[in-house]
Structure 1
Amino acid sequence: MVSPDLLDYRIFGGRVYSPCEGWVDALENQRPDTIPGQPDLQHQPGNYVRLNCGGKMILLAHLRQGSVVVSLGERFFSGQLIAEVGNSGNSLEPHLHVDVADNGMELAISFDGRPALINALFSVNGK
């Protein structure tokens, strides 16, 4: 059951689409969405999908419990529905956390923004 507090956030339940094409490297889908302000510090990314997009790994984290619609090892395309925005893991309020790393590098929840070019359409920079 979803906490009524989560429904106050317009982004909660928003659709998350793949920014690239590749295959699903790892995922978690059963962590509960937490009450805003009460993060789950034991499971940093909460529900997540890790995408292998050729030379880059992309982590989509804090997804809504049970919303992931791709499977481990599945091939996907750019713009394909992946999941919904949630509030799982170490999250104070519903949002989508995106982290990008080169293949072979550690990919984890971080807060040091790095630029990323996604499908040559736009640049993302967290700083």
Structure 2
Amino acid sequence: MTLFYWLIYVLVPLVFFIQLWRGKFTSRRAWTLYTVMAGLFIAYLFLVGRWDVVGYFPRILIVVMFLTAAVRSFFKNRDLARRGPRKSWKYRFNLITYTALSLYFGAFVLLALWGMSDREKPVHLHFPLQDGVYHVVHGGSTTAINYHHTHRAQAYALDMVKLNRAGMRANHLSPESLRQFVIYQDPLYSPCSGEVIQAVDGLKELEPFEMNRDTQSYRQQHPTGNHVRIGCKGVEVVIAHLVPGSLQVEKGQRIEAGDPIGRVGNSGNTSEPHLHIHAEKNGQGVPIRFGGRFLIRNSLVFSR
């Protein structure tokens, strides 16, 4: 899976870069459509891609590379004829392909941009993690950048991981153990002051990527795994997938914002260690803001 990400996130942009930098086009129309297609693909990767897998720094690099190549290519091809050979099927096929791919990736870009705002009254919470750089894997108000959005109660849920110095969520290109994930065992702190409505502990953790038939029954019965549900500010805040035996709160307990509640783990319906948090009211998801920010996929939080 990691190899797939590297191929799509690094190799494909590199092909576009080389084509723009060195390639020859038959007309300005072909150049324009190709550049638009490449730009929308880069925008799609920038907004929708999982950059915690290959590293956060290449996310910026591909944009710089594309803009550099596009500017150079513009000056190189600005004297071309406006139209190419009308009778060439290859030329027409290329134009149709560029247009179709532009529409496809353009639609995802628009959905991602639309998902960057909450558009509903949010609940303001304290960030529940400390001492690190945290990266939003799923977050936003459209499914293009947040797969939770199809679930009514989790419409604005957030999944977060922690990045190492290389900008990656694990200390291995193909992590196989829980401890290779940077966020694993990180302490969690209450995001608000309120009452613990539910505290579930003692459920086993899964090894990374154990999303198979052997674990299906367990994941269906305990999707949130070890978790805490806190009633505060008129909503219920759910923090899920904690390490078994790490919970420091119990049902009915009054807690304050910043109180320790457990550690990030991989229990329940989850493929790898991460923080899952969402707020709901009467079964409907409520947007969350931390420090006034509505976090979306690829947002970074620098927490101390």
Relative to the length of structure 2, the TM-score reads 0.36
2:248 corresponds in structure 1 to 69
Task: Tell me which of 274, 277, 283 is aligned to 1:106.
Answer: 283
Task: Tell me which of 219, 224, 228 is aligned to 1:41.
Answer: 219
> Residue 293 of structure 2: SS of its match in structure 1?
strand
TM-superposed CA distance for 1:41, in Å, is: 1.9
Letter in structure 2 aligned against 1:11: I
Q: For the Cα contact (< 8 Å) 1:115–1:123, is it kept in 2?
A: no
Deviations 1:40-93 (A, max 9, x none): 422100000000013011000001111000011000001110100000000000
Q: 2:230, 2:294 → 1: CA distance? A: 17
Alpha-carbon RMSD: 1.9
> Residue 228 of structure 2: SS of its match in structure 1?
strand
Q: 1:106, 1:27 → 2: CA distance? A: 18
Relative to the length of structure 1, the TM-score reads 0.82
> Residue 41 of structure 1: SS of its match in structure 2?
helix
Asked if 1:124 corresponds to 2:303, the answer is no
Q: For the Cα contact (< 8 Å) 1:115–1:125, is it kept in 2?
A: no
Q: For the Cα contact (< 8 Å) 1:115–1:126, is it kept in 2?
A: no
> Residue 219 of structure 2: SS of its match in structure 1?
coil
Gaps of 5+ in 1: none
2:27 corresponds in structure 1 to none
1:15 corresponds in structure 2 to 187
Deviations 1:22-47 (A, max 9, x none): 01001111111101111442210000
From the superposition, tell whether residues 126 and 28 of structure 1 become closer, same or farther in structure 2 (CA, over 3 Å). Answer: farther
Q: 1:71, 1:124 → 2: CA distance? A: 29
Count of residues in correspondence between the two structures:
115
2:200 corresponds in structure 1 to 28
> Residue 13 of structure 1: SS of its match in structure 2?
coil
From the superposition, tell whether residues 35 and 24 of structure 1 become closer, same or farther in structure 2 (CA, over 3 Å). Answer: same
Runs (4+) off by over 4 Å: none
Report the identity percentage. Answer: 34
Letter in structure 1 aligned against 2:179: L
Q: 1:115, 1:125 → 2: CA distance? A: 10
Q: Which has the higher strand share?
A: 1
Bigger relative contact order (CA 8 A; separation at least 6): 1
User: Structure 2 matches for 1:56-95, cutoff 5 A?
Assistant: 56-95=235-274
Task: Tell me which of 276, 285, 288 is aligned to 1:97.
Answer: 276
Letter in structure 2 aligned against 1:74: Q
Q: For the Cα contact (< 8 Å) 2:228–2:238, is it kept in 1?
A: yes
Specify the structure having the higher radius of gyration (Cα).
2
2:287 corresponds in structure 1 to 115
Q: 1:16, 1:101 → 2: CA distance? A: 19
